[in-house]
Amino acid sequence: MKDLIKRLIDKGFTYESEIQIGIKSFESQIKNILKKHYKTEYVENNFGLTEEFKQYLGLIDGNLLKSNWCYLSSMNNIIKSTDYYYKCNGYLEEGTRMYLHIGAYSDKHDFIYCCDKSDSTTYGKVYDMNDCILHPNTCGDEDYDNVKRFISDLISFI
């Protein structure tokens, strides 16, 4: 994973450094956001981060930016942008999985990470969403099996 972060920097990404919170605090704050939109029991039983995603979060010291065109969020920004996206989404259809907003590119694409262990076909995947809300089953342009594949493909795209 470290080599992928280095390759992003080699491709022109820069850090917007900030003091990072720990993974436990991150998980707690994210769960609090999700509990506003899902039943507490559902969040407690189904929220999860893959070890690979935790490793990724531990390696970045701030937002990774590419010319205000593309960014990958730090833990602090994931908390803020996930909260914002859920507030904008309003009503969630029953069965909507839990997601984190982890970055974006241009003004139309958002990257979201599935943190819902209840569905093994979506858990741990990253979705490239084009002009849509947190429903990758209806409008995702691309889905990536895991964070490593997502970053690898992003590197080859930019």
Confidence grade of residue 148 (pLDDT, cut at 50, 70, 90): very high
The pLDDT tens digits of the residues spanning 49-90 come to 999 999 999 888 788 888 878 889 999 999 999 999 888 876
What pairs with residue 27 in β-bridges?
none
Pairing of strands 70-72, 109-114: unpaired
Neighbours of 65 (CB within 10 A): 16
Please state, for a pLDDT cut of 70, what percent of the chain lies above it. Answer: 88
Strands ordered across the beta sheet of 109-114: 14-17, 62-66, 70-72, 99-105, 109-114, 126-130, 140-144
Alpha helices in the chain (DSSP H): 2-10, 23-34, 40-46, 51-59, 75-89, 136-139, 147-157
Domains of the chain (ranges plus CATH)? 2-157 (3.40.1580.10)
* pTM metric for this prediction: 0.89
